[in-house]
Amino acid sequence: MAERSPPKASLARSPPLSSTFPLLLIATKEIKLDNSINNTLILIVDDEKDIRDGSKRILSRIGFQVNTASRGDKALDILKKERPSIVFLDLKMPGMGGMEVLEQIREIDETILVIIITGYATVETATKAMKRGAYDFIPKPFEPDQMRIVVNRAWEKIQLTRETEKLEQERKRTLLDLDTEKSRIHTILESFPNGAMVTNTHGQVVLMNPAFRRLFQLSSDLKPGGLIEDYVPDKGLCELVKEISQGKYIDYGDIPDYEFTISDNKYLLARPQPVLGEKNECLGAVVN
């Protein structure tokens, strides 16, 4: 905002299997539609060849890439070269036991979902495996539909995790963009020769330039963030700006210019306008 002669100045404007079986069975038919499954690797770790071969057939038909290992140490060797998203892990194997393999998998990459295969599917065994980081378990012998249900549940978990990570990355980018945009707006306002301020929907001043401070003789210690009344002494202008900030003016052409005085020889003309978002919603007001 700047003083003028004539006497006016301008002012800147996991449920149980039994409860989920029907829904998940339907979902297994739809799982083939997701092309990203083709890029997902599953590792089957079991000392029984029939289990390895049968599981590979079931999962390959759905569309997953499948690798197998007959022992725990061989599985860990594979993990050094490849990174599966899901591991089916037998608890009872010769050599390194399933619990030990589970712990080492968690150390390598705790995002890998480990599904325990066990012929000893007691509550105690399942609880112990879950406490050590297993995602789920399947008792053997199992039917193909049982495996499809379990892997579909794990796949949905992976998809949800990926989507959450994607949204978080987008949120961080958005925050960075907002910071950049705010910096640009601040630079533009700083360069204005006339006084300018911006308010949010609560009538709080979020930005103001040096010319605005000079016109109202504001201390350099007074920072943005307070209500407009803390910066502008004219009650009528404050009320008008708050109404605009809250979106009360449907026809923006009806917003009047506002004349006021702040001293015996200083007259100001303020032109408030709404700040609109991408969906034409009111985000606040700018006054110049």
- Among the listed ranges 21-35, 36-50, 272-286, which one has the minimum average pLDDT value? 21-35
Q: Which two tokens stand for residue 109?
A: 């990459």
Q: Is the predicted pLDDT of residue 267 greater than 90, yes or no?
A: no
Q: What CATH number does domain 34-168 carry, 3.40.50.2300, 3.40.50.2000, 1.20.1260.10, 3.90.1150.10?
A: 3.40.50.2300
Start-to-end C-alpha separation, the chain: 6
CA distance 132 to 98: 11
Angle, helices 49-62 vs 144-191, to 10°: value is: 50
Tens digits of per-residue pLDDT, 54-66?
Answer: 999 999 999 999 9
- pLDDT over 90 percentage in the chain: 35
135-169 per-position pLDDT tens digit: 998 888 889 999 999 999 999 999 898 888 888 87
- Residues of each domain in the chain carrying CATH 3.30.450.20: 192-287
Name 65's bridge partners.
41
42: left (phi over 0), alpha (psi -120 to 50) or beta: beta
Cα(80)–Cα(200) distance, integer angstroms: 53
* pLDDT of 180: 65
Nearest to 117 by CA among 173, 45, 169: 45
- CATH architecture, range 192-287: 2-Layer Sandwich (3.30)
Q: Per-residue confidence at 238, pLDDT binned at 50, 70, 90?
A: very high
Task: Please indicate whether residue 7 or residue 122 has the higher confidence score (pLDDT).
Answer: 122
Our measurement of the distance from residue 272's CA atom to the centroid of its chain's CA atoms, rounded to an integer in Å, reads 35
Q: What is the DSSP string of 225-254?
A: TSBGGGT---HHHHHHHHHHHTT--SSGGG
Ranges of CATH 3.40.50.2300 domains, the chain: 34-168
Strand partners, 208: 197
Alpha-carbon gap, residue 246 to 201, rounded angstroms: 5
Q: Which has more confidence, 126 or 34?
A: 126
Distance separating alpha carbons of residues 32 and 61, to the nearest angstrom? 9
